[in-house]
Structure 1
Amino acid sequence: MTARGVRVRRIYDQAATDDGIRILVDRIWPRGIRKDAAAIDVWAKDVAPSTELRKWYGHVPEKFGQFEARYREELATPSKRAALDELRTLARGSTLTLVTATRDVDHSQAAVLADLLREAR
């Protein structure tokens, strides 16, 4: 796969002209964002972590290593693998911006997904 680039941004940040395809990777729609004003091309909620994993993690940075390992295991399941493959297809020749409502994007599912997509290049 030859992706031009994979980025991670918060949905609350202004969309940039060079974002390429903007993909929301959260299971739950972000608070305070109207769908018609979100500047989102795809809502890929099927690739988001399970509710159980998301609640367990609670965005505690000290748990990120365990969260990443568990999330990668989830992404290997057939339904999640299919959703991840869709992202890989979108990344062929395009810039992807994975968008999340999470405050700490470096310790988020979007960061894990970006790493997986970059590894596939």
Structure 2
Amino acid sequence: MTIRTKRIYEEPSPDDGRRVLVDRLWPRGVSKEQAQLDDWHKEIAPSEELREWFDHDPERFGGFRERYRDELADRPELVRDLLDSARSGTLTLLYAATDEQHNNAVVLAEYLDDRLEE
């Protein structure tokens, strides 16, 4: 039971387990072959409104985290699929953002970890 986050621009690794892109938009400059995805869950990404409000501003990350977690609570079927993957092995949540600490994949990984502990 491991949940990881990783930039999609990093080389895929056998240790990644199930690789799932969790961004709404396809990352620039990455082909489907390079990505080596198992799935693309664009529906689990933050809403367009929330993404635009956050605008990758680290000072807004606390508010972003809270609002995104609320959105995730309204999508139990999408969350369940990722939880099932995490329970059966390694799940790597892929994202395109350059900030490795302040992005939706980090919040999603925290949210999934919390659900696993329940």
Name the amino acid aligned to 1:92: R
Name the amino acid aligned to 1:67: F
Residue 110, structure 1, aligned to residue 114, structure 2: no
Q: How many residues align?
A: 116
| SS of residue in 2 equivalent to 1:23 | strand
- The counterpart of 1:63, out of the listed 38, 60, 64, is 60
Aligned to 1:43: 40
TM-score norm. by structure 2 comes to: 0.94
Gaps of 5+ in 1: none
Q: Which of structure 1's runs of 4+ aligned residues deviate more than 3 A?
A: none
TM-score norm. by structure 1 comes to: 0.91
Aligned to 1:18: 15
| SS of residue in 2 equivalent to 1:22 | strand
Deviation at 1:105, TM superposition (A): 2.3
Name the amino acid aligned to 1:15: P
Q: What is the alpha-carbon distance in structure 2 between the residues aligned to residue 59 and residue 106 of structure 1?
A: 10
Gaps of 5+ in 2: none
Deviation at 1:120, TM superposition (A): 2.2
Aligned-residue CA RMSD in angstroms? 0.9
Q: Flag the structure with higher helix content.
A: 2
